[in-house]
Structure 1
Amino acid sequence: MIKWIIAAEILFWIAILAGLFTRYVLKHKQLSYLFFLLTPLIDLALIALTVVDLQSGAVATTAHGISVIYIGVSIAYGKTMIGWADDKFQTYFLKKESTKKALYGIEKGWHELKMLGRHVFAFAIGSVIFWLILTYIDPNSTEAMRNVWRIWSIALLVDGVISISYLLFPKKADLK
């Protein structure tokens, strides 16, 4: 199963890079959208492979749990990841100035809170998929997936504390 997760991640970034290359180097914006639209299809293929693997009798492993996290994160952060890649592509390959500015103070706090919202959204999507899958497979073979979900729950709580801390203790601009 882990090979399918790695393959999905590689295909995800290949699709994004192909979209950026098509948009900025080949100057074909319409075609670039096709590559960006491949990313949710890659996600669907990974979840389908996970379900098929489990329905064929495989014992649920940590890798199956990670594939579900991958889907939730990809859906919740997909646009953000594409925006990040777009900025990096323009900065490193097209030698343009980065459009991202460093955030400080309350602005940084609100940004972190927004990112926490994305994490909660990813967790909600992943949780629904987790529990749907767990209802259709042998309950005796689900402990590894349940553990992945528990760890992700703890990670979400830690992320929440850290994100809220940016509002309570705003980051100050570096003085040079």
Structure 2
Amino acid sequence: MVEPLVVLIVACEIGFWVVLGAGLLARYALKMRRLGAALLVCTPVVDVVLLVATVFDLRSGGEATSAHGLAAIYLGVSVAFGHSMLRWADQRVAHRFAGGPPPTKPPKSGPAKVRHEWREFGKFAVAWAIACVVMLLLMFVVGTPERTQALWGQMSGLTVVGVIWLLGWPVYHSVAEVVNGREKSRQ
């Protein structure tokens, strides 16, 4: 059986995209810029709903599960990457339906690529920090270490993802740029 909190997480993700779509529809198709902006500003409300439901679930005596950790991770990712996701969608809709400029693409190489990779990893670091703080707060709310073991596992897993991301992208591209720079200087 699926945990109700997992269903709520899925519903919040769908809600995020519905509110985003409604905001873009109002902004570009209906030419109602203020309504569109108001709807886009409301996307974080979805995160608040999830956070309140998660705290309520734990305060009512539930044991912290991986679903609670997933809710914290969802919140962290939504806060850290939400603005760039909104910008990504807005650029594409503006270009496709309102004659806006083509969407910007991430750089493919060079120092700009390195900066891009570090900036994206920085967003992950913010998401990681928010998720871990939320999980620690949930542990505090529960107050019983035996009922929060799953959250420690979620934090560990998220940290492993961060190390892989760090080494696989920003560090890799930074080293590649240094190596390429040395090869070019020898020629």
The aligned residue for residue 168 of structure 1 is 175
**In 2, distance between residues paired with 1:7 and 1:118?**
24
**In 2, distance between residues paired with 1:15 and 1:167?**
38
Q: Percent identity?
A: 32
RMSD: 1.7
1:133 alignment partner AA: L
SS of structure 1 residue aligned to 2:117:
helix
Give the superposition deviation at 1:148: 0.8
* Number of residue pairs aligned between Structure 1 and Structure 2: 171
After the TM superposition, which residues 1-176 of structure 1 pair with which residues of structure 2 at under 5 Å, given as runs? 1-93=5-97, 98-103=102-107, 104-137=109-142, 138-162=144-168, 163-170=170-177
SS of structure 1 residue aligned to 2:113:
helix
SS of structure 2 residue aligned to 1:51:
helix
Which structure: greater helix fraction? 2
User: Under a length normalisation based on structure 2, what TM-score does the superposition of the two structures give?
Assistant: 0.85
Moved over 6 A (4+): none
Give the superposition deviation at 1:80: 0.3
Give the superposition deviation at 1:161: 1.1
**In 2, distance between residues paired with 1:78 and 1:22?**
19
Contact 2:70–2:154 under 8 Å retained in 1 = yes
Contact 2:79–2:127 under 8 Å retained in 1 = yes
**In 1, distance between residues paired with 2:92 and 2:17?**
13
**In 2, distance between residues paired with 1:153 and 1:117?**
14
1:165 alignment partner AA: Y
Q: Which runs of 5+ in 1 are unaligned?
A: none
Give the superposition deviation at 1:145: 1.6
2:47 alignment partner AA: D
User: Under a length normalisation based on structure 1, what TM-score does the superposition of the two structures give?
Assistant: 0.90
Give the superposition deviation at 1:94: 5.2
The aligned residue for residue 185 of structure 2 is none
1:27 alignment partner AA: K
